[in-house]
Chain A
Amino acid sequence: MVQETVHPLSKYLREAMIPHIWCTGCGNGVILNCFVQAVDELEMDLDKLVVVSGIGCIGRAAGYTNADSFHTTHGRSLAFATGAKLANPELNVVVISGDGDLFAIGGNHFIHAARRNIGVKVICANNFNYGMTGGQQGPTTPLEASTTTTPYGNIEHPFNLVHLAAASGATYVARWTTLHVRRLTQSIKRMLQKEGFCFIEVISPCPEIFGRRNKMRTGLEMMDWFKRASVVENFSDPSKAEISTEKLIVGEFVNTEKVSYEKFLHEKISQINEKRVGW
C-alpha cells in the first residue's frame, strides 16, 4: 500500500484556494514557503496570525495562508493592517505585498507606518515591475530596463527600498533574494519576534513578465543572476545597497529596538487613567 504523504507545511495553507495563480519560475511560492516555514519553526499560534495583502500577484498570498487573512484594495494593506494591529495588539499582523503596491500607490502609507513604528511586519516581493497587469514599469524598475510601458528603456530612477525603510524608521530592515531560502527564513523569524515596524525586501524572479524582456527568459536565468551577483553585506550602509546586473547587495541592514506605536499608545492610555479621579 502506498501511504498518503502530507507536506509538513500544508497545514499552513488554505488548500481549497490552491492551485495558485503564479507563473512558472515565479518567486512568490518560495517567499510564501519561507514565511510558513518561519511560522512553523516559531510555533506561532495561527489563530492570532493575520496576513494582509494588497493587489498584485503576491497579493494572493494572504488568501493562500490558513490564518485570518484580508486582501485589501491596491496599496492600502499597511493602512488596513495599522487599524487591525491597533484594535487588537495581540494579533501578529503580517503584510505580504509587492513593490508596486507598497511603494507606488501605497508609498505614503509605507513611510508613515514605518515612522509611527506600528508593530506590523512587512514582506515585500520585489519583481521590478507590475506582473499582474502584464509587465509595466514601476517604482523599482531598474534604469534602462525594458517593460511594456518603457519600450525604449526606463528613464525613472528606482527606489532603494531598504534605504527608504531605514530612513523612514523601520526597526528591522533586510534584503534577500529567493535564492537565499535559509537566510530569508531566519530573517523572517527574527522579524516576527520583534516589536516594532519591520521590513524585508525579497528580490523575486519574474521571468514570464519581466525577465523575458530583459535577457533573462527563464526563472533559472534570473536565479543565476541572484547567485552570480549577490553579496551578503550585513549591517552595511543601506543607502549604498546596490541592485545591478553586476552586484546585488543583500543582508540585514537595521536591527534596533524602539517602542512600538501600539505599546506607546496603550502606556499613554494607562497613564491618563491613573491620573483620573473616580475612574
Chain B
Amino acid sequence: MSKKGVLLTGAHFMNGDIACAEGAIVAGCRFFAGYPITPATEIAEHLSERMPEIGRIYIQMEDEIASIAAVIGASYAGLKAMTATSGPGFSLMQENIGLAIMTETPCVIVDIMRGGPSTGQPTMPGQQDVMQARWGSHGDYEIIALAPSSVQEMFDLTIDAFNLAETYRVPTLLLADEIVAHMWEKIVIPTAEKIRIVNRKKPNVSPEEYLPFMPDDLVPPMACFGEGYRFHATGLTHDEHGYPKTSSSEVQERLVKRLCEKIRRNEDKIMRVEEVMLDDADVVVVAYGIVARAALSAVRKAREMGIKAGLLRLITLWPFPQNHVAKIAGSAKRIIVPEMNCGQLVREVERAAKETSVVFLSKLGEEPHTPMEILEAIRRNS
C-alpha cells in the first residue's frame, strides 16, 4: 500500500483502522500523534509508514495526554491533526479535549471502543464510551461524534470528522467499535473530485484588527502561529481578544454559550442518520456502529415475516439526532435499542421518544447482538 501517493483511488481490501488512517490522509491530516493501544494501534502503525513517505508528520508520544496536547499544538501551528486511541487512553485525553473545546482547536480524536471499565477487554468490542464522549471533560460543551458501521465509513467519516472539525473549530470524535476497526472489507476510495475537503476559515483583517475569538457566524476565523497575528489563547475563560477574564459572569456566559450554540444551531447541518423502511414501521430499531449491521439484517428478516419493522441508524451520535427519534416515536409503537453497553444512548432515545415505549437490549463481552437476537426482540414487541 505504501509509496503510492496521497489518494489511493480504487477498490481495496482493508481493515477499519487502515481505512481510517487513509481517510485522515485524504482529509489533509498532516500531523498524527499517538500512543500504542489495542484496538487502535494499527492506525498509528499504518500512519508511521504512510505519513513520512508523503512528507507529513508522525510522532509517538509518551502517553495519550501528550498525544492530544501535541495535536492541539500542531493544529495551532497550522496543520490538520489527529490522534487515535481506545477507552483507557480516551479517559486520559479528556482534560485536553476540554482545552481543545475552550481554545476552539480543530482536531480529530479517534476512539476505537473496547470493553471497559478500566483495562477491561482490550481485544473485544464495546460501545461503552458513548457518554464519556459526550460528557467526559468537565464543564459545559457540545461536541461532535460520528459512529461508523463499516470499513467504508471508517474512511468516509474520518474525512467528514476533519471537515466538521475545521468548519466549527471543534474537536471531533470518531467513535468506532473494535469490530468495525479490525474487520476487513472491500472499500472504494473515490477520485479527488468526488471528495469534499473543508479548511478552517482564516482571518481577512490585519493583525492589528484581528481578534482571535471574535466569532463570524458563531465561529471565529483562525490565525495560526507564525503568521504574524501575535495572538494569545488560553484554557481560562477569555474575551474576544483571548485575554483571561476569569471573574466576569458576562464573559463566561457569552463564551460558553457560544461554544455550545455554534454546534446546536448547526445541528441540522451536522446530523446524519440512515433511515430504512421507516414509513410504515410499527417497530423501529435504533442502532449505531457494528450493531446496526445486525439490526439491518433483523429488520429485513422481520419484513419477510410480515412484521412492519424499520431501522434508524445513527451516524451522528453527538449532537444526538433527537428530532429523528421524535419523528419515529410519533408513528411507531415500539422502539428497540440494542447497544454493547449497560444502557447509554438508550437514555437519549427515551428522552426523545417521550410516550413511546423503548426496549433496551444490552450485550457485553465478546460479540455484538446477533441478527436473531434482535429479530426475536422485534417479534416479541410487534
Chain A contacts to B: CB under 8 angstroms: 14, 16-17, 46-48, 50, 52, 62-63, 66-73, 76, 79-88, 90-91, 108-109, 112, 265, 268-269, 272-273, 276-277
Contact = CB atoms under 8 A, between A and B. Distances in A.
29 contacts: A14-B232, A47-B230, A52-B73, A63-B244, A67-B230, A68-B232, A70-B103, A71-B233, A71-B244, A72-B72, A73-B95, A79-B61, A79-B62, A79-B70, A79-B73, A80-B70, A80-B72, A80-B73, A82-B66, A83-B72, A84-B225, A85-B73, A86-B74, A87-B30, A87-B57, A87-B81, A91-B226, A108-B63, A265-B57
A82 B229 contact: no
Contact of B69 (A46, A48, A79, A272): A79
Contact of B77 (A14, A16, A63, A88): A88
Interface of B: 3, 30-31, 33, 52-53, 55, 57, 59, 61-63, 65-67, 69-79, 81, 95-96, 98-99, 103, 225-236, 241, 243-244
A84 B235 contact: no
A82 B69 CA distance: 9
Contacts of B69: 72-73, 76, 79-80, 82-83, 109
Contact of B73 (A69, A84, A277): A84
Contacts of A277: 3
Contacts of B96: 73, 76
A277 B226 CA distance: 34
A79 B35 CA distance: 13
A52 B72 CA distance: 12
A68 B225 contact: yes
A145 B55 CA distance: 52
Most buried by A among B33, B99, B230: B230
Contacts of A276: 3, 53
B76 A272 contact: no
Given A17-B243, A72-B99, A91 B55 contact: no
Nearest to B243: A17
Contact of B234 (A46, A70, A268): A70
A66 B230 contact: yes
Contacts of A82: 59, 61, 66, 69-70, 73
A195 to B, nearest CB: 18
B66 A90 contact: no
Contacts, number: 142
Contacts of A73: 69, 95-96, 98-99, 235
Most buried by A among B30, B73, B76, B103: B73
A91 B77 contact: yes
A30 B228 CA distance: 27
Given A68-B229, A87-B30, 6 more contacts: A70-B103, A70-B232, A81-B73, A87-B57, A112-B61, A269-B52
A88 B226 contact: yes
Contact of A272 (B33, B53, B230, B232): B53
Most buried by B among A68, A71, A86, A273: A68
A70 B233 CA distance: 5
B94 to A, nearest CB: 11
Contacts of A87: 30-31, 57, 73-75, 77-79, 81
A48 B228 CA distance: 7
B99 A50 contact: no
B226 A63 contact: no
B225 A79 contact: no
Contact of B236 (A71, A84, A108): A71
A84 B230 contact: no
B31 A47 contact: no
A273 to B, nearest CB: 7
A184 B59 CA distance: 33
B1 to A, nearest CB: 14
Contacts of A63: 232, 234, 243-244
Given A16-B243, A79-B61, A68 B74 contact: no
A55 to B, nearest CB: 8
A78 B33 CA distance: 14
Contacts of B233: 69-71
A69 B242 CA distance: 10
A69 B59 contact: no
A66 B241 CA distance: 13
Contacts of B103: 70
Most buried by A among B53, B62, B81, B103: B62
Nearest to B33: A83
A222 to B, nearest CB: 28
B103 to A, nearest CB: 8
B302 to A, nearest CB: 49
B70 A71 contact: no
